[in-house]
Chains A and B, each alone.
Chain A
Amino acid sequence: MRKPGEDSSTVREPVHEVRAGERVDGYRVGEPLHEGGMARLYRVSFSRSRRPLVMKVPKLGPGSPLSAWAAFENERQILARLHGPHVPRRVAVGDSRHRPYLVMEYIEGDALARAAARAPIAVDELRDLGARLCRAVHDLHRQNVIHLDINPANVRDRPGGEMVLLDFGVAHHAALPDHIDAAFGEEEGTTPYIAPEQVRHVRTDPRSDIYAIGAILYHLATGHYPHGRPNLLSLKKRLFEPPRPPRLHNPAVPAWLQEIILRCLAIRPERRYATAREVAYQLTHPETVHLTRRAHRLTRSGLLTRTRLWWRSLYEVFEDTAPRHPQEHLTRHPHVLVALDPAPADRSLRYALRDAVRKLARSEPHAYFTFLSVVKRVPEAGEDNDAPTANSSTVQCLAEMRNWAQPLHLRPERVHFQVIPGAPVAALVEYAQAHAIDHVILGARAKVGVDRLLGSVSYRVMRHVPCSVTVVRTREPLPAPAPGRRRR
């Protein structure tokens, strides 16, 4: 290890090359792993640890791009502020004046890159990979960082399944000075995955990462890039031409998947999904995807449309309409879970619940809602013919929920309806955790029987979900209608 003060008086050329077998500050350099435009990666080991590590060394000196240093500094600063399973753990940083390097944990899995190499892949595998990627991106945005260069080569995975995002050379941290210059001449990101606003040098919109996710999904589903082979024309084309529908390349792509992909790839950021979490949700719950006309399109957009979009692109401005901080952007697009009792005992509570949802929908115009009913259990097929079958009761339950929500007049893409089997508390808590729900709204029933001993459902949900919970209560229940009386 370098001792403090050592070498501080002599000015040396920064080390821009290390060789296999060499020792750098106690790290034994192994085989070179990868050489990119800005940096080289080596496998390294440390005597006291058996963890596999990589060392990133920026390309400096004659013949290397000017921006290599800026990219390296950028990555060093951003990585120091990131944590969690979706980013590589930073192990050591070399003295940036004399020995600039970065040692990180080595992440073995490259499932996404391998899948991309054999695209098109099966829809189920795509859903799984896509949802995992979205969760990683969402976690990054939560930490105020926009990646801006998401592509299969920059995504690895851990044995536990978590995707890990690599290479923060052109990333943007909302609370740090941004020294990355688009004016250097090199293009940011990797051509097929660059969002239209990135072509125009906007670096502050988290929805640029949503576009990259869309491009990756497009490629996984079809084996083609959204705008054809990467070149300068394909770069400009994304400003005025919607990509060809994925089903044109691969008829096996379901309509809902085409809807998701094309929404991710919208030219204007505000037309895309607002958060990666929403994309993950739709990929895991295809039945909740609101299909629009583009879901079924099988032809390229018409000449008229393309001319109109081209004309518009000439004066298209991508201003920074998104809030300055990705975190703030996320809080403006909360995912709200509304728990509905499948067998409502109390009408007034249902009205009160709807009122609570209406207030929230008004004050949070970008919130999206999942209305969830937990049914006790799903009868096995062939079991007890008299009991309503799982299917018909689920359908009826969904119908009732839709009817209940109808007076709210929420846009269809803002609402999802779900019926899941299970024990009420456990199922709600698990659902809220799995989908990173921001806010739960549920009604509190009058305490009866077992509830009095164990605590009510609302109380137990409140104790276990990791987010805000609104419990709706009514002052006193309306008298239940008594249908038998009139007959007497």
Chain B
Amino acid sequence: MRIAILSDLHSNLEALTRVCEHAAALGAERYVCLGDFIGYGADPAPVLERVMALPGLVAVRGNHDEALFREMGREAFPEIRRAIAWTRERLSPVQLNFLDGLPLLVHDGRVTYAHASAHQPDAWEYLRQPDQIPACLEAAGTPMTFIGHVHVPRVFYETAAGAVRELVPQDGMAVPLSVSARYVINVGSVGQPRDGNNAACYVLYDNVAHEVTFHRLAYDYVTTARKIRDAGLSPFFAERLAYGR
């Protein structure tokens, strides 16, 4: 079965639409969303409407989603706080309920889903380096963990001797997964990629062939950016979409 794994949508309707069309055309039967549905973008309600209708949806909570209900840490930028407050007014009670009820972690057989890390998932640590990976692997207890949060697609894997290495995945090329190894896979970001490539990113996981494929899709970020500016949100949120930073 093919599972489409999406993360960090950030209220970007254009990117989400493009990704969903692409995944459906490739035969995705189930969808997993790894949190941060809202924040930054200007389409929170339409995005959630679309997400909640996805077949077989599995979802976990991200730090932006949590900020709707709890005060963010002191390090959060005022612009981000303002976007959260702006978003809160535009969501229906059903949508707010959906977000409030999301778990931090989901274990599904051989796979764990988390937003930032399986280790202390509510600490929102950014897993950027291989030396941060073992803690996540141990806490997950499954051979595979899918994460988001960093907005940079990566495959971290553990060799038989216990060393953790990373692979920069290429667009559209299947990465075979070994049965005996352990993986932490960052699926990148749908709504706000930050690896220098402005195309939306998501992962198709084939659990029969046991491989993951990263897909990069160009979408109409000009419209997304215009909506952000029109909504009076920080112009930087609009600008960074073009650079993929």
* Chain A residues within CB distance 8 Å of chain B: 66-67, 69-70, 73, 77, 97, 175-181, 183-184, 324
Contact = CB atoms under 8 A, between A and B. Distances in A.
A77 B179 CA distance: 13
A81 to B, nearest CB: 9
A180 B179 CA distance: 15
Contact of B178 (A97, A177, A183): A177
A178 B165 CA distance: 8
15 contacts: A67-B160, A70-B160, A97-B179, A175-B173, A177-B165, A177-B167, A177-B176, A177-B177, A177-B178, A179-B160, A179-B178, A181-B160, A183-B163, A184-B160, A184-B161
B181 A179 contact: yes
A180 B157 CA distance: 12
Nearest to A67: B160
Contacts of A69: 180
Range of interface residues on chain B? 10 to 19
Interface in B164-189: 165, 167-170, 173, 175-181
A77 B181 contact: no
A77 B176 contact: yes
A179 B159 contact: yes
A183 B162 CA distance: 9
Contact of A175 (B163, B165, B170, B178): B170
B67 interface: no
B140 to A, nearest CB: 18
B155 interface: yes
Interface secondary structure of B, over-half rule: loop
Contacts of B180: 69
Given A73-B178, A183-B163, A177 B168 contact: no
Contacts of A184: 160-161
A174 to B, nearest CB: 9
Contacts of A324: 168
A63 B226 CA distance: 66
A181 B175 contact: no
B167 A179 contact: no
A465 B176 CA distance: 36
Contacts of B159: 70, 178-181, 183
B160 A66 contact: yes
A177 B175 contact: yes
Contacts of B178: 73, 177, 179
Contact of A176 (B160, B161, B176): B176
A4 B181 CA distance: 25
Given A73-B178, A183-B163, A184-B161, 11 more contacts: A69-B180, A175-B167, A175-B175, A177-B157, A177-B165, A177-B176, A177-B178, A178-B159, A181-B159, A181-B163, A183-B161
B89 to A, nearest CB: 45
Nearest to B173: A175
Nearest to B167: A177
A324 B170 CA distance: 11
Contact of B175 (A67, A176, A183): A176
B187 to A, nearest CB: 16
Nearest to B170: A175
Nearest to A77: B176
Nearest to B155: A177
A333 B187 CA distance: 32
A91 B169 CA distance: 28
Contacts of B175: 175-177
Contacts of B181: 177, 179
Contacts of A179: 157, 159-160, 178, 181
A395 B1 CA distance: 69
